[in-house]
Amino acid sequence: MGSLPRFLIFVGVVVLGISVVYLGRRLDLVKSAAIQSPAVSGSFPALSALDAELSQLIGHAVPAVVSISARQYDPATDQLRRIHDMLGIQAPAGAKTPELGSGVIVSSEGHILTNLHVVNQAKEVTVYLSDGRMLAAQFLGADPLVDLAIIKVDATNLPSLPFANSDDVRVGQMVFAIGNPLGLQETVTQGIISGIGRRGVNDLNAEFFQTDAAINPGNSGGPLINVRGEMVAVNNSIALQSQGISFAIPSNLARRVYEDVVERREISRPWFGAITWPLSPDVANRLGLPVSQGCLIARVMDGSPAARAGLVAGDVIEAINGKPARNGPEIRSRLAELKVGDVASVTIVRGGKRIDVLIDVEQQRF
């Protein structure tokens, strides 16, 4: 055999050997990658545990959330219908499209918290429970200044959600909205608290939590819950022409309305008896006051809680129970959180000094 054929055979053997070694190493790498692949079931125990915990949380909360259908009537049309009935003429139905909303069961005896605008002036309110029951609800009472109402169904041993202390809520914490958006019962969305102390959202005497949890028409009255399954707020409204901006009424205010309606049978209208004006830097400078923000007391009513606590005209209110009260909306928000019989700590500035004054909260006299 000549030298050229032998050389070609030698080169072929070398190439074959190199190929075998290369393929063998590639096979080992593939096997190693398969063993270490994160796609293998059970490779994420922490995430699997979190997923199970969240599912358990939602499974606990959903049975305490109800869907509400409130059939409302236009008084003028309803009167016309009664006249038609008297004359034996076929009458118009008179009923508007039912208002759809949500509610949250807050007692095992069937007390349900919702927004007043969901059930306002309704003649028929129907509640749909998660177990399939459809029950008529009775309107017990409401506080129109904060758009919250209490209705009740004739049932016992119902699952309910506890109130959280909304003073502990912080921006960034995880929350879940549960409700009946667009008629889709038991819808759950997840988000965070995007902001606290929002004012000017509407005409209500309340500060709101802002959330990016998806909320749509029909979510009104449903709960916003934390990771402990507590209600931190009641979903109320959506910012128009926006995405991911919704507002909810803090649970401490919702608890106050529930206790007023169910326990005290009277809506609290807390009253100090002091007439105030918002303080501007210009007014503060002209009066020679050492502060540029707050509510200037213009008058204290005789015999009022403020008078008994020693407040006088010229004092400047800065905070109530440690929360800012520097203008009209903030004062109204602080008062809305109180109930008759509370003792409020009011921070005032007098003569350049800050003083905390305790004031007994009474029912508004007028």
- Encode 219-286 in three state secondary structure: CCCCEEECCCCCEEEEEEEECCCCCCCEEEEEHHHHHHHHHHHHHHCCCCCEECCEEEEECCHHHHHH
Residues 214, 283 within the same domain: no
Residue 258 pLDDT: 96
- Catalytic residue list contains 60: no
Of 153, 181, 204, the residue at which a domain comes to its end is: 153
Q: Is residue 218 part of a domain?
A: yes
CA distance 347 to 323: 9
Judged against a pLDDT cut of 70, whether residue 22 lies above it is answered with no
The secondary structure of residue 73, as a DSSP letter, is: B
**Other residues' Cβ atoms within 10 Å of the Cβ of residue 285:** 10
Q: Which of 147, 212, 260, 315 is catalytic?
A: 147
Residues 146, 212 within the same domain: no
Residues 317, 255 within the same domain: no
- Catalytic residue list contains 41: no
Alpha helices (H) in the chain, listed in sequence order: 3-36, 45-61, 75-87, 116-119, 251-259, 281-287, 305-308, 328-337
CA distance 249 to 363: 23
- Residue 210's φ and ψ, nearest 5 degrees, are -100, 140
CA distance 95 to 123: 10
pTM: 0.74
What is the tally of structural domains in the chain? 3
Average pLDDT, the chain: 84
Q: Which residue has the higher pLDDT, 203 or 4?
A: 203
The per-residue pLDDT for range 85-134, each reduced to its tens digit, is: 555 555 555 545 567 899 999 999 999 999 999 999 898 999 999 999 99
The secondary structure of residue 93, as a DSSP letter, is: -
Q: Which two tokens stand for residue 150?
A: 């209490």
Residue 30 pLDDT: 47
Q: Is residue 4 part of a domain?
A: no
Highest mean pLDDT of the ranges 67-76, 198-207, 227-236, 326-335: 227-236
Residue 333 pLDDT: 82
Q: Which of 102, 160, 220, 251 is catalytic?
A: 220
Residue 59 pLDDT: 95
Residues 67, 146 within the same domain: yes
What average pLDDT does the segment 319-329 reach? 86
- Residues 6 or more apart whose Cβ sits within 8 Å of residue 135: 126, 127, 129, 153, 154, 155
Judged against a pLDDT cut of 50, whether residue 245 lies above it is answered with yes
Residues 200, 143 within the same domain: no
CATH number, domain at 137?
2.40.10.10
CA distance 218 to 12: 76
Task: Return the C-alpha torsion angle 7, 8, 12, 18, nearest 10.
Answer: 50
Residue 95 pLDDT: 46
Q: Which of 102, 111, 117, 160 is catalytic?
A: 117
Residues 172, 247 within the same domain: yes
- Residue 217's φ and ψ, nearest 5 degrees, are -50, 130
Q: Is residue 192 part of a domain?
A: yes
Residues 247, 316 within the same domain: no
Q: Is residue 260 part of a domain?
A: yes
Q: Is residue 191 part of a domain?
A: yes
Of 120, 153, 186, the residue at which a domain comes to its end is: 153
Residue 44 pLDDT: 86
Of 264, 289, 306, the residue at which a domain comes to its end is: 264
Task: Return the C-alpha torsion angle 42, 46, 50, 53, nearest 10.
Answer: 80
CA distance 345 to 305: 12
Residues 258, 322 within the same domain: no
Residues 93, 126 within the same domain: yes
- Structural domain including 346 reads 270-363
Judged against a pLDDT cut of 60, whether residue 230 lies above it is answered with yes
Judged against a pLDDT cut of 80, whether residue 142 lies above it is answered with yes
Judged against a pLDDT cut of 60, whether residue 20 lies above it is answered with no
What average pLDDT does the segment 14-24 reach? 56
CA distance 63 to 184: 15
CATH number, domain at 275?
2.30.42.10
Can you give the C-alpha Rg of the chain in angstroms? Answer: 32
Judged against a pLDDT cut of 70, whether residue 70 lies above it is answered with yes
Residues 220, 185 within the same domain: yes
State percent of the chain over pLDDT 70: 80
Judged against a pLDDT cut of 50, whether residue 46 lies above it is answered with yes
Judged against a pLDDT cut of 80, whether residue 250 lies above it is answered with yes
Task: Return the C-alpha torsion angle 37, 40, 43, 44, nearest 10.
Answer: 110
173, 165 Cβ separation under 8 angstroms: no
- Catalytic residue list contains 220: yes
Of 32-46, 169-183, 240-254, 284-298, the range with the lowest mean pLDDT is 32-46
Residue 248 pLDDT: 96
Residue 280 pLDDT: 80
Q: Is residue 38 part of a domain?
A: no
Q: Is residue 137 part of a domain?
A: yes
What average pLDDT does the segment 196-223 reach? 87
141, 152 Cβ separation under 8 angstroms: no
Residues 134, 212 within the same domain: no
Residue 201 pLDDT: 67
Residues 130, 80 within the same domain: yes
Q: Is residue 9 part of a domain?
A: no
What average pLDDT does the segment 62-81 reach? 76
Burial 1-26 (b: 16+ CB within 10 A, else e): eeeeeeeeeeeeeeeeeeeeeeeeee
